[in-house]
């Protein structure tokens, strides 16, 4: 069965060019980049190129790029490194809609005695800026706010916020795992000190991540061992994946420059507008404007998201009911709850996330299949039947 992959915020297909770039580093140039011999040294040169490619994607300097194993490691490192550097500051701020890799660390720190502010969002998923600025204090060690939300695609005004936070002398971290490669990022125009990026969201393989560390930022390594990454991350460099990520960053930069995401965005809009028009009792989750071009989160009221996914799966359509990192949990998404999405809508929310590989044919196929699926599920749903009775008797 043909797979229609609309789950690109969970992970992406590795680009052929990325894989081609990686292949020489398994069987041929497999030396350890830290070795004295030139067999290892040649590998170090390839890593240097990749470091520059990644730096160029976000307007950073090559020295500010620290390779590690994933976005989760970047988030853990950014937060832990900052707290280790400012042991006297005991207050930390994040939002209520962060990815588990940030959220769980903050929750763990709260248990350890840190004072934690979770900034709320409005019904569109936009940050409550007044609340945020009111809670910044002299005791605040770090602000960690995502650039774009993984479930709704909603974009926070990171450039503006980070510049304001920087003025206060507080370290600013952003989880840009979903934003990088999909919208332009130029750290030079921001007050961002630390930025997380993940390879497998931009058509590089799983298991490779980056932490951008602005020059001059106090830093204390999280993963301790050898002198790799200028003492900022121990462990033998994951050469093949680093080279792959470099290539993926270069390709992402070219796609942004060419405006490829306009096509992705058009397909996303077609999918979204048609579903909202064709299926009754359907809501869009999140701000329609300030949003990633590839993401839509749609609430199908009175049905179970998991049931929709299973029926989509029968047609080879891959989507998600929330973050893959929280799947398996029966709780509705913390992101949608923070936005105040009603229970009956949050439970039936589906995220479709597109990529440059998505075709109009695929979108048409999805548009053909989804409305009858929702209709069928609603016929079986006690919530739906109740709601219908309520409407009739009203």
The catalytic residue positions are 325
Q: Scanning the structure block, which residue is given the tokens 């009754």?
A: 280
Q: Does 229 bind its own copies (CB under 8 A)?
A: no
Structural contact between residues 252 and 57, judged by C-beta atoms closer than 8 angstroms:
yes
Structure tokens at 388: 């219908």
Neighbours of 230 (CB within 10 A): 11
> Roughly what angle, to the nearest 10 degrees, separates helices 100-111 and 71-85?
30
Instruction: Select 2 or 376, whichever has its Cβ closest to its own copies.
Output: 2
Shortest CB 317 distance to its own copies, Å: 8
The three-state secondary structure class of 97 is: coil
The DSSP 8-state label assigned to residue 128 in this structure reads: -
For the bound state, the minimum distance from the C-beta of residue 71 to its own copies, rounded and expressed in Å, comes to 7
318 binds its own copies (CB under 8 A): yes
β-strand partners of 212: 65, 195
CB of 348 to its own copies, least distance (A): 14
Instruction: CB nearer to its own copies: give 240 or 345.
Output: 240
DSSP string, 30-75: ---TTSSSHHHHHHHHHHHHHHHHHHHHHT--GGGEEEES-HHHHH
User: Interaction with its own copies in 230-289: which residues (CB under 8 A)?
Assistant: 234-241
Phi first, then psi, for residue 93 (nearest 5°) are -125, 135
Compute how many residues bind its own copies; rule: CB under 8 A. 75
Tell me, residue by residue from 329 to 368, as one string, x for binding to its own copies by CB under 8 A and - for no binding.
x---------------------------------------
Q: Which two tokens stand for residue 8?
A: 């690109």
Nearer to its own copies, 100 or 371 (CB): 100
136 binds its own copies (CB under 8 A): no
Q: Closer CB to its own copies, residue 31 or residue 59?
A: 31
Which of 61, 207, 356, 371 touches its own copies (CB under 8 A)?
207
Which CB atom, from 129 or from 309, has the smaller least distance to its own copies? Answer: 309
User: Which residues have CB under 8 Å from 28's CB, separation 6+?
Assistant: none
Binding window for its own copies (CB under 8 A); candidates: 223-231, 276-284, 296-304, 378-386: 223-231
Q: Which is nearer to its own copies, 72 or 285 (CB)?
A: 72
Among 137, 225, 280, 340, binds its own copies (CB under 8 A): 225
d(CA 294, CA 305): 20
Q: Which of residues 80-119 bind its own copies (CB under 8 A)?
A: 99-101, 104-105, 108
Residues 165-194 that bind its own copies (CB under 8 A): none
Helices of type H across the chain:
16-22, 24-27, 38-58, 71-85, 100-111, 129-135, 158-167, 228-231, 239-258, 261-278, 305-314, 334-338, 343-346, 360-380, 382-393
Site string for its own copies, 31-50 (x = CB under 8 A): xx-xxxxxxx----------
């Amino acid at each position: 069965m043909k797979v229609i992959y609309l789950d690109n915020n969970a992970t992406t297909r590795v680009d052929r060019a990325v894989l081609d770039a990686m292949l020489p580093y398994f069987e041929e140039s497999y030396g350890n980049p830290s070795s004295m011999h030139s067999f290892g040294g040649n590998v170090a040169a390839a890593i240097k190129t990749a470091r520059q490619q990644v730096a160029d994607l976000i307007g950073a300097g090559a020295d500010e790029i620290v390779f590690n194993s994933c976005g989760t490691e970047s988030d853990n490192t950014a937060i832990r490194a900052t707290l280790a550097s400012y042991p006297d500051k005991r207050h930390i701020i994040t939002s209520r809609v962060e990815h588990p890799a940030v959220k769980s660390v903050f929750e763990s720190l709260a248990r350890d005695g840190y004072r934690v502010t979770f900034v709320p969002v409005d019904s569109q998923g936009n940050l409550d800026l007044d609340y945020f600025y009111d809670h910044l204090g002299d005791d605040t060690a770090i602000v960690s706010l995502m650039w774009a939300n993984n479930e709704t695609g909603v974009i926070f005004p990171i450039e503006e916020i980070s510049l304001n936070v920087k003025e206060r002398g507080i370290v600013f971290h952003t989880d840009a795992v979903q934003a990088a490669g999909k919208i332009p990022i130029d750290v030079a125009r921001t007050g961002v000190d630390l930025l997380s990026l993940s390879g497998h969201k931009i058509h590089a393989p799983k298991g490779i991540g980056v932490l951008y560390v602005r020059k001059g930022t106090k830093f204390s390594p999280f993963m301790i061992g050898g002198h790799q990454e200028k003492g900022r991350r121990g462990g033998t460099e994951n050469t093949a994946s680093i080279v792959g990520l470099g290539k993926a960053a270069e390709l992402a930069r070219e796609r942004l420059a060419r405006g490829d995401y306009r096509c992705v965005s058009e397909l996303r809009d077609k999918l979204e507008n048609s579903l909202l028009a064709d299926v009754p009792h359907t809501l869009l989750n999140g701000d329609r404007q300030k949003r990633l071009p590839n993401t839509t989160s749609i609430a199908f009221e009175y049905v179970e998201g998991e049931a929709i996914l299973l029926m989509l799966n029968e047609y080879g359509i891959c989507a998600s009911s929330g973050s893959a990192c929280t799947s398996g949990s029966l709780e509705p998404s913390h992101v949608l709850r923070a936005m105040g999405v009603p229970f009956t809508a949050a439970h039936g929310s589906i995220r479709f996330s597109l990529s440059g590989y998505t075709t109009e044919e695929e979108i048409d196929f999805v548009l053909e299949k989804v409305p009858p699926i929702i209709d069928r599920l609603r016929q079986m749903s006690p919530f739906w039947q109740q709601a219908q009775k309520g409407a009739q008797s009203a």
